[in-house]
């Protein structure tokens, strides 16, 4: 993947949402929608409570990735509905021909078909624009809704990694999924 300093805005064909770069003005909506124990319980690196300080640190990391790494390690998109961030979707651990996906969606927007469509758009972007040939992701064993999202987006289950994650003193198995070009 060639380094870049800009990311496109990707439009959902139904126009329900867009995938776009995060902006400084997104902090309030980010904190509002990610500050959920339910999300934190299912995403390995999301603390709870999620504060404005966490958002400020997050935005500093995004700016460093944009300016110093030029999106060679990770690419984060805000999921935007009506001008407000309601979730996030990203390529992380970009490594040549492959990358991991990561995502979350505010609770009030879950179960409405948004995330499978967002994943399909990100996969298309990854294959066509970034030149990826393998995109992979995982969910924790106790998160069947997220597993269903991956399956709806065309990912295939590859297996389980036992005790892959330790969060809050509890080990979690990872259910691994991938889609290949």
Q: Give the 3-state DSSP-derived string for 16-39, with helices as H, strands as E and coil as C.
A: CCEEECCCHHHHHHHHHHHCCHHH
Give CA–CA dist 40/57, Å, rounded.
17
Give CA–CA dist 103/139, Å, rounded.
10
CATH topology of domain 10-180: Aminopeptidase (3.40.630)
Residues recorded for the chain: 181
Handedness of CA 7, 80, 126, 13 (dihedral sign): negative
pLDDT band at 2, cuts 50/70/90? low
pLDDT attached to residue 161: 96
pTM of the model: 0.89
Q: Which of 38, 37, 85 is nearest to 58 (CA)?
A: 85
Taking 90 as the threshold, does the pLDDT of residue 123 lie above it? yes
The domain segmentation of the chain, as residue ranges, is 10-180
Half-sphere exposure of residue 126, counting CA atoms within 13 Å on the CB side? 33
> What's the pLDDT tens digit per position in 66-119?
877 777 889 999 999 999 999 999 999 999 999 999 999 999 999 999 999 999
């Amino acid at each position: 993947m060639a380094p870049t300093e800009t990311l496109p805005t990707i439009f959902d064909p139904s126009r329900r949402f867009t995938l776009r770069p995060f902006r400084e003005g997104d902090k309030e909506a980010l904190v509002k929608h990610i500050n959920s124990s339910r999300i934190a319980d299912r995403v390995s690196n999301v603390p709870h409570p999620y504060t404005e300080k966490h958002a400020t640190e997050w935005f500093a990391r995004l700016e460093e990735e944009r300016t110093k790494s030029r999106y060679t390690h990770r690419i984060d998109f805000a999921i935007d509905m009506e001008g407000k961030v309601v979730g996030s979707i990203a390529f992380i651990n970009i490594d040549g021909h492959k990358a991991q996906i990561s995502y979350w969606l505010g609770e009030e927007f879950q179960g409405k078909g948004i995330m499978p469509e967002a994943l399909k758009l990100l996969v298309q972007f990854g294959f066509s624009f970034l030149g990826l040939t393998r995109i992979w992701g995982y969910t924790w064993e106790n998160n069947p809704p997220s597993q269903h999202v991956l399956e709806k987006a065309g990912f295939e289950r590859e297996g389980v990694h036992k005790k892959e994650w330790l969060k809050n003193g509890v080990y979690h198995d990872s259910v691994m999924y991938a889609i290949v070009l």
